Structures are given as structure tokens and as C-alpha cells.
Structure 1
């Protein structure tokens, strides 16, 4: 291979990488799935180029192609985003907040974010009680009807839907995913009014009763407000 050929191949590789990044950057906050036609309009790339790039991005977990031919971002981007998040040592703020909640309530405290149709336990501090829900950091759970999933679903859309303004937090559910488990959850926000994740308490339904949740609610809300401020966030209008 001549020097000119190697140079041409290198330039072609750079151009291809640039187009792939352009495709990924076309996804916007609030997108669930984006059609091929919409990606074409957003990027200026032709459909055949997008489809070719998408095959490689799918293989590496950056994109997911849905049965109807539309695309959504893949879990690999979320993994990289988690690494990026950790590089800013978000845990320096989140972990003390969780430890404070556990000390005040004796129930397990966690911080969840959404990953597609799953919720990811990003940080967690276990209850000192032997009877507790055994979830570990990094565990993926379904986006069910639990209080945690509801908070992620309602507040994770930008701009916030009308439902968010009408939703009284913290949300409490008992036995939604597991008949023996109860949860209490509220949103945490990042810079501006961007959604950061769900701060929650979980415990057995026999201990984290509706009455216990009412008592723990103000502690959870105050901790979420403090954490929002620590992350550079602003509580939406109407939130304490």
C-alpha cells in the first residue's frame, strides 16, 4: 500500500467516524425512537449511509433498531455516560445523601436512573436491618408501576409534562413489583431543571407502611432538595 493510499484510507476512516458521531448526536432529549426519515432530516445524511452506519453502531451497542425500522440509543452509550458521570464524582454528593437517609430512616436508600425500558440502580446504601430488599449497584430492574419507575417515567421527560406538575411527591407504592416490598421515591434535578434521577427508600411492606412513608416523606424531600442544589440543579417551579 502506497503512502497516498494509506492517507486516503485514513481520511475515509475519519470521515466515517464523523458521520457516525453526527448520527448519534442527532438524538435529542425526550426522544424515544426516531424514524429513519427523521434522522435523515436531522443529519443531512442519505438513508443508505445512515443504515450502513447503524449496522456498525448496533453491533457495538450504540444503537438499537426496532421492529418498525426506527432507532433508539443503545445501552453502551448509557454505560459510557455513567463513566462520564462518575468522572465528575457525582457519588461524592449522592452517597452522603443516601447514608443520611439510611441513618434517619433505617431503610435502604438508592439513586436510580432510566435506561430504556429498565431502571438502573446507580448508587445504593443498604438498611442495617437483616430483612431488606437485596438490590446491588448496577442492577437493572423493569420500568414497572413501582414508585421509582413512576418518578423516572413522569419526571424524565423534558420539558416536564403536565402530569409532573400535578404529581404529589414523594410517591409511595407497596407490593407493585414484589408483594413484600414498598418504596418511596422523589425526583432529583441537575443543572437548570434537567432531570438527574430518582432518590428513593425501599423496605419490607411490614415496616415501610403508608404511615411510616408519611413520616419519612419530609426527610426524603429535604434530602432530594439538598442533593439537587449540590448537583447544580434547580427545583421546578412549585417544588419545595
Structure 2
């Protein structure tokens, strides 16, 4: 590649970055966004936004309204639907479960609501011989355990359980000898997808230890939420 070609390539990447900066500046709850607001969110000057928005309009990703306001176009919705249709949740969940087991040393699992119960969808066991023997596909009661609390209280979305500060801890509920720490996971539209959890004997996963490892579970839950189309905020 000669110098002119290299310069053109770098320039093209920079232009693409600016276009994507505009597109990702739209936030949940936005209707039509003023040009000044887009400039404030992106750090781009208004003339640059107007110029680059022409390309976004051409592909149906953005619509320019009278008065200079902008909103997302129908193509953004179509791409979101394509993403959701092609989503294979296992490929996102399993690496996080494996990482939690390696980092915390306790069993990690992912539960989803199942009628009036909860279903263990994915699970990675710890290396300890002393552990709760639940398998993927097992149905557990919707009791007062941390996992059940998360699935029940966040069913209406992230703002539906203001009194909880996830991850949520419980000990001795489903089984007097076990404890769990659970974090809600959301998908597109902030819809509850499931609960990410670590569990183990209550003698190992004490309330004090749960406090020490809660940030690892929280980070895993937020990462999974972002991967599934949710909003970590």
C-alpha cells in the first residue's frame, strides 16, 4: 500500500468512527434529538454531524425531521430484530460461567423463569467435591433464595426492585447447607433474561465471602447484559 492509499484508509476509518459515534449517541427514551444535543453527546461539530447524517439517512438508520431534529430510522429496528433472531445465548453465557468458576472457585449457573418455578439453563460446576448437585434442565422452586428473588423482583425490568442492591445474597433457603449470590441479566428493551449466580456450601460461601466476590459477579452480569442487547446503566 503506497502512502496515498494508506492515508485514504486511515481517513476512511476515522469517518466510519464518527458515523458510528453519531449512531450510538441515541439513548433509551429518545424521541427526536436536537442537533445541539447530538453535538454535546458526540463531541462533534454540528456541520460534521449534518454531513455524516446524510449517509445514515441514505441507509435508513437515521431520519431527519423538520426543524433539524433526528431520530433512529426503521433500519435500526430491522438490524435489532436480526440480531435478536440470530442470538445464541449459550455462546455468551458459558464463557462467563467458566470465568466465574475460575475466579471465585464456586459453581456458577444461569437460571430463567419457568412458570411459577425457576429453570437451571446452564451450569459450570466447581472443582470441589462438596457442592449442590443441580444439573441444566432441573427445575427449582421460586422461593426466597437469591436467584428466585432476582427472577421475581426484576421481572418487570431493572427499575422494578429499587429496594434490592444486586448481587443479592441468600443462605440456607432452598437447602439449609447452601448459599447463593445472584445478579439480574437483561436483554433488548431491558427485558429480564435470567439470573447469573454463584452457589456453594454455606460454610464456604458465607455472607462475608459473598461481599468480597460480589464485584466479580456484578461485572459478569453487566457484561452479559451488554452482550444480549441490554443497557448496563
Q: TM-score range by the shorter chain?
A: 0.5 to 0.7
What is the CA deviation profile of residues 150-176 of structure 1, one whole-angstrom value per residue up to 9, with x for unaligned ones?
Answer: 000000125843xx1221111101001
Q: List per-residue Cα deviations over 1:49-78 (Å, max 9, x = no partner).
A: xxxxxxxxxxxxxxxxxxxxxxxxxxxxxx
Equivalent position of 1:139 in the other structure: 138
In the alignment, is residue 183 of structure 1 matched against residue 211 of structure 2? no
The 3-state SS of whatever aligns with 2:188 is coil
Q: 2:156·2:191 contact (CA, 8 Å) conserved in 1?
A: no
User: What do you get for the CA RMSD once the two structures are aligned?
Assistant: 1.7
Residue by residue over 1:72-129, the C-alpha shift from the partner in whole angstroms, topping out at 9 and shown as x without a partner, is xxxxxxxxxxxxx997321000000100000001100000011111100011000111
Q: How many Å separate the matches in 2 of 1:136 and 1:86?
A: 27
For the residues of structure 2 that align with 1:230 and 1:157, how far apart are their CA atoms?
Answer: 20
Distance 1:232 1:86 in 2: 12
Residue 109 (structure 1) aligned with residue 113 (structure 2) = no
Q: What residue is the counterpart of 2:71 in the other structure?
A: none
1:201-240 equivalent positions in 2, closer than 5 A: 201-235=198-232, 237=233
Given the superposition, is the C-alpha separation of residues 137 and 119 from structure 1 closer, same or farther in structure 2, using an over 3 Å criterion?
same
**SS at 2:185's partner residue?**
strand
Counterpart of 1:169 (choices 151, 166, 169) is: 166
SS of the aligned residue for 1:166 comes to coil
Tell me the secondary structure at the aligned position of residue 219 of structure 2. helix
TM-score, normalising length: structure 1: 0.60
Q: Determine the C-alpha separation between the residues in 2 that align with 1:159 and 1:168.
A: 11
* Distance in 2 separating the partners of 1:199 and 1:214: 16
Distance change in 2, residues 1:187/1:179 (3 Å): same
5+ long unaligned stretches in structure 1? 1-84
Q: How high is the TM-score relative to the length of structure 2?
A: 0.62
For 2:146 and 2:94, the matched residues in 1 are separated by: 21
1:122 is matched with: 121
Distance 1:216 1:159, change over 3 A: closer
Paired position in structure 2 for 1:199: 196
Larger CA Rg, structure 1 vs 2: 2
Helix, strand or coil: the match of 1:200? strand
In 1, Cα distance between equivalents of 2:189 and 2:85: 20
Across the two proteins, how many residue pairs are aligned to each other?
Answer: 150
Contiguous gaps of at least 5 residues in structure 2: 1-83
Give the corresponding residue for 1:99.
Answer: 98
